[in-house]
Structure 1
């Protein structure tokens, strides 16, 4: 979820780096660097050779097999989008959250789009699509001033179901590959504002008393993304005391086995946060994941160049 990401641009001396992390070697490779466009939140295409990112309010395709300039996908009638976009399983289309607060569906080839949500005066921040493609999971924020809530809607549109997952803000709802669980981050156990932790709830019974905490940390943990084979996960870890998921911070990506979220397999330090890995970016074969960092040249902005 984000509102700050709308219209984000690079600061003076800042770069946008697109990375691919290899699970077996525990190394990451910078596959592209940009100093004129701030890209965010890669999705890995089903063919394994293309990443889809947002930037400048649009959706872009970046070829990995023969890296070159990203291509903006042309849509008709689509408002500017943010970094909440998820591929439709088994099809050549994508669901996107836009700055008018609604979720849209469009082909990866561009063209016309279809609006999925219909509630006006409500923000719908998309994060997950069920494995069978029938249901969307999103973060719902209305004008009441209350906390963000997890909600579901049929992929073709229809009634919204708000899930009761406990007190505090929630974000990042995403299904496990087998469809049995919905993973998310929540402040329901927070001893202080902003202390998000990782959790899951059975998709067949997503009620408050069924919410499971995945690990207990002093850090602020966001966006759990499970690999397509269901064995691994990566999430974004902010420093203790962080509220929300801001940009331009020293953060870490944490790789874990889903059988033990408390024991990291690898840590990837970087300068980023917002936009780094808001949505699932695993490769279809579960061997790699993509992310974005935003280093700043020493003395030019909010932080020195971390090299990440």
Structure 2
């Protein structure tokens, strides 16, 4: 079931300049819980999910947007997030990634599959097979040929196998498993040059839930640990120029990537060095699950979920 806002809660769509620290609220809603913004390749819009649907939020010269009637924001462009109609789709979750062709989007849905559709809407094509996995999309290779996803499988006794990472050709077919061990892995995303898949994992944990950031070659070899600190780090995203790494950092002791937590958005170099805090937000799940970098490699889009004070 799609997530909803708690009484008195809002979802706010932001754009953050990582160089100046300027943080602008583009849209605020008390009705729809928006999640996981992608930036279109031309920089003209953000693609988000909410209420099980996909939405497009058009930008005004890359700046402020209309408030949807909730606030009197300056520089508004006269529009609110507009639903992208996808024919016959199960409700969507917040795992969606834009096709490098600039015309399509890959989405994960509550039917446990990955689909491909036009950004303008219409029928969607199922990519993944009926292979017993729950498929959660996170990455697409720079040439658009291969998808990286998190796969979860139930054992015969009803328990769940720890999440593992897989790739699949964008046109469908059999998947290739990249990780297979007792440590939960998640958030696989290609670097812009296609040389690495970045991900978060508990493989270095000392306590349950203690995820850190890693990268590996697209065939699953050459794994490297990038962060090693007391916080719980999720969803690594490389900037389009390949120079910057942004991610969501949860408080110590967090298990998984829950909603409604005080989290920190952090930034560092692609190799995990030079990590610094960008901003603290009330969010977590939905804040920045997918790559939210602008084409200029300077701005990040994210969502927070403040509660009524």
Tell me if both proteins adopt one fold, taking TM over 0.5 as the criterion. Answer: yes
CA contact (8 A) 1:63 1:70 kept: yes
Structure 1 residue 121: Cα displacement: 3.4
CA contact (8 A) 1:165 1:211 kept: no
Residue 191 (structure 2) aligns with = 176
1:75 matched to 2:70? The reply is no
Change (3 A) 1:291 1:67: farther
Residue 56 (structure 1) aligns with = 51
Of residues 26, 34, 38 in structure 2, which corresponds to 1:39?
34
CA distance in 1, matches of 2:112, 2:177: 17
SS, match of residue 228 in structure 1: coil
Residue 152 (structure 1) aligns with = 167
CA distance in 2, matches of 1:107, 1:12: 34
CA distance in 1, matches of 2:90, 2:307: 30
1:11 matched to 2:6? The reply is yes
SS, match of residue 124 in structure 2: strand
Question: Deviation digits for residues 240-291 of structure 1, max 9, x if unmatched?
Answer: 00000000010000011224x2432442100000000000010111120100
Structure 1 residue 238: Cα displacement: 0.2
Shifted more, 162-171 versus 215-224: the winner is 162-171
- 5+ residue gaps, structure 2, are 61-76
The within-5 A match list for 1:1-308 is 6-65=1-60, 66=77, 68-144=79-155, 145-164=160-179, 166-203=181-218, 205-207=219-221, 210-259=222-271, 261-298=272-309
CA distance in 2, matches of 1:240, 1:271: 15
Counting matched residue pairs gives 289
Question: Deviation digits for residues 155-174 of structure 1, max 9, x if unmatched?
Answer: 00011111136541010000
CA distance in 1, matches of 2:115, 2:78: 28
Structure 1 residue 108: Cα displacement: 0.4
Question: Deviation digits for residues 169-197 of structure 1, max 9, x if unmatched?
Answer: 01000000000000000001111110000
Change (3 A) 1:222 1:285: same
CA distance in 2, matches of 1:137, 1:188: 19
- 5+ residue gaps, structure 1, are 1-5, 299-308
Residue 64 (structure 2) aligns with = none
Structure 1 residue 148: Cα displacement: 0.4
Residue 74 (structure 2) aligns with = none
CA contact (8 A) 1:26 1:266 kept: no
Runs of 4+ in 1 over 4 A off after TM superposition: none
Structure 1 residue 43: Cα displacement: 0.5
Question: Deviation digits for residues 112-148 of structure 1, max 9, x if unmatched?
Answer: 1100011253200000000000000000011122110
For normalisation by structure 1, the TM-score amounts to 0.91
For normalisation by structure 2, the TM-score amounts to 0.91
CA contact (8 A) 1:22 1:289 kept: yes
